[in-house]
Amino acid sequence: MLRALALLCLVLPVLATPALAQTEIHRCIGANSGAVFTDQACSALKATPVSPAAAAAIPSPVAAPPPVLCAASVGELRQSVIDAFARRDTIRMAGLVLWDGYGRSAAIADIRALSALMKQPRLEVETAPQQAASTAPLDDDFFAQNSPPPTPPTMEQLVLHTAGDGSAARTWRFDIVSRAGCQWLRNAH
């Protein structure tokens, strides 16, 4: 037991020596604005010291959150449509559409229509209340009751005017739908 204790007393200083021999690493910003890691003081290299706490506070491009790609307001949605048209970016325009409930063939057809739409010159993008549905015929028994039919809630639409084939202008209508804090386009068939 005494021998083990004596051996331990001899080994501990030997193990601690490398830890004591290590010098502090200084983090600096060099004259060329590059990072410098050195065992010398930053002032000796005519560099600016950066403390580890300050380095941790500087946001890294890797740690930055991804950009929010959905529109928080109708105005942002309108601007996103304008930007997508300016870049002829069909993928961005498709990213503004709420695709819930679409079947495969309907989604493919709408993406093809968006692709054709993006090739046309944009004339104007505006918001408007949804067009009223056509009124029911008077001889319909369902609407012959004393109370008028319920009116659907008004929904805002994004109206897109493009120069179609030739000189005729075309109008495209998209319903504006709120989901998960974002504003989305829905094809207004």
> What is the distance between the alpha carbons of residues 48 and 31, in angstroms, rounded to a whole number?
8
For CA atoms 110, 115, 116, 121, give the dihedral sign: positive
Do 38 and 126 fall within a single domain? no
Could you list the pLDDT tens digit for every one of the 189 residues in the chain?
778 777 767 766 766 665 555 668 888 888 777 888 888 888 888 888 887 554 455 555 555 555 656 899 999 999 999 998 888 888 889 999 998 888 889 888 888 988 888 888 888 889 888 655 444 444 444 444 455 555 455 579 999 888 876 667 888 899 999 998 899 999 876
Burial of 28 (0-12, 13-18, 19+ CB in 10 A): buried
Please check whether residue 34 lies inside any domain of the structure: yes
> What is the distance between the alpha carbons of residues 174 and 170, in angstroms, rounded to a whole number?
13
Q: According to the model, what pLDDT value does residue 185 have?
A: 92
> What is the distance between the alpha carbons of residues 23 and 13, in angstroms, rounded to a whole number?
18
DSSP conformational letter for 47: -
Do 88 and 168 fall within a single domain? yes
> Cβ neighbours of residue 142 under 8 Å, at least 6 residues apart?
136, 149
Q: According to the model, what pLDDT value does residue 79 have?
A: 92
Please check whether residue 79 lies inside any domain of the structure: yes
Q: How many CB atoms lie within 10 A of CB 103?
A: 8
Please check whether residue 66 lies inside any domain of the structure: no
Domain count, the chain: 2
> What is the distance between the alpha carbons of residues 66 and 61, in angstroms, rounded to a whole number?
10
Do 48 and 117 fall within a single domain? no
Please check whether residue 166 lies inside any domain of the structure: yes
- Could you tell me the CATH number of the domain that includes residue 180? 3.10.450.50
Please check whether residue 148 lies inside any domain of the structure: no
Do 80 and 157 fall within a single domain? yes
Please check whether residue 68 lies inside any domain of the structure: no
Q: According to the model, what pLDDT value does residue 75 have?
A: 92
What are the Cα distances from residue 147, in Å, to 64, 133, 139, 143?
Answer: 57, 18, 15, 8
DSSP conformational letter for 81: H
Do 34 and 113 fall within a single domain? no
Q: According to the model, what pLDDT value does residue 183 have?
A: 93
Residue 48 belongs to what domain range? 28-55
Do 86 and 126 fall within a single domain? yes
Give pTM, 2 decimals: 0.52
> What is the distance between the alpha carbons of residues 172 and 187, in angstroms, rounded to a whole number?
9
Do 111 and 51 fall within a single domain? no
Q: According to the model, what pLDDT value does residue 33 have?
A: 76
Q: What angle do CA 112, 115, 117 make, to 5 degrees?
A: 110
> What is the distance between the alpha carbons of residues 189 and 11, in angstroms, rounded to a whole number?
83
Q: Which two tokens stand for residue 58?
A: 């500087």
